[in-house]
């Protein structure tokens, strides 16, 4: 599991254009954002859920959503502050073993397959114009839902 922020701000990228022409790209310079929480299940299927921030309250809400979907589960994740906060620890204790958090070693994004999902998603939206943050959120959601990222979980966790 991992989080990533998608900004409405348009990222300018290089494009091919006829020599001497001046390509025009629409841009959105607002700083609106959406935070995606991503998971990959044991079959390699990626999913994402959107929140306004990466605070403990949002993370706990995410954990509750997963509990409603999966019941008991083990979640492999990094050591972000919201994952280790007092609020989160208290919530996990209340679950009485229904939710188990397994932390990756520090500074090891290469062991987290969701990083590849974010990389491909951000590449896909990089040069696209979205007028509203809701449009970008929907585009990212559909991209993740519709794509098979060919991720073998054991390739990441057995490094």
Q: Identify whether 81 is part of a domain.
A: yes
Q: Identify whether 157 is part of a domain.
A: no
Give residue 137's domain range.
2-16+25-149
Q: Identify whether 90 is part of a domain.
A: yes
Domains of the chain: total: 1
Cβ-based neighbour number of residue 47 at 10 Å:
18
pLDDT value at residue 26: 74
Record the tokens describing residue 159, joined without a space: 């490094």
Q: Identify whether 119 is part of a domain.
A: yes
Beta-bridge partners for 7 = 33
Q: Identify whether 156 is part of a domain.
A: no
d(CA 51, CA 36): 6
How many helices (H) and strands (E) the chain has is answered by: 6, 5
Q: Identify whether 154 is part of a domain.
A: no
Q: Identify whether 67 is part of a domain.
A: yes
Beta-bridge partners for 100 = 74
> CA 48 → CA 18, 39, 121, distances in Å?
39, 6, 11
pLDDT tens-place values along the chain, 159 residues long: 999 999 998 776 777 888 988 877 777 778 899 999 999 998 889 999 999 999 999 999 999 999 999 999 999 999 999 999 999 999 999 999 999 999 999 999 999 999 999 999 999 998 888 999 999 999 999 999 999 898 877 777 665
> Euclidean distance between the first and final Cα of the chain, in Å?
17
CATH of the domain at 77: 3.30.420.10
DSSP 97-109: TSEEEEEPPTT-G
The H or E element that residue 48 is part of is strand 46-51
Q: How far is Cα of residue 56 from the mean position of the Cα atoms in its chain?
A: 16
Q: Identify whether 137 is part of a domain.
A: yes
């Amino acid at each position: 599991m991992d989080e990533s922020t998608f900004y409405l701000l348009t990222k300018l990228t290089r494009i091919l254009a006829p020599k001497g022409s001046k390509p025009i790209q629409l841009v959105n310079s607002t700083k609106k954002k959406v935070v995606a929480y991503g998971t990959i299940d044991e079959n390699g299927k990626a999913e994402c859920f959107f929140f306004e921030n990466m605070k403990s309250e949002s993370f706990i809400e995410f954990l509750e959503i997963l509990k409603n979907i999966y019941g008991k589960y083990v979640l492999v994740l990094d050591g972000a502050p919201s994952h280790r906060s007092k609020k989160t620890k208290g919530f996990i204790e209340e679950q009485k073993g229904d939710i188990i958090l397994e932390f990756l070693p520090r500074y090891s994004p290469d062991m987290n397959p969701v990083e590849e999902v974010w990389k491909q998603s951000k590449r896909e939206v990089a040069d696209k114009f979205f007028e509203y943050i809701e449009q970008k959120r929907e585009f990212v959601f559909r991209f993740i839902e519709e794509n098979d990222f060919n991720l073998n979980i054991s390739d990441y966790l057995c490094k």
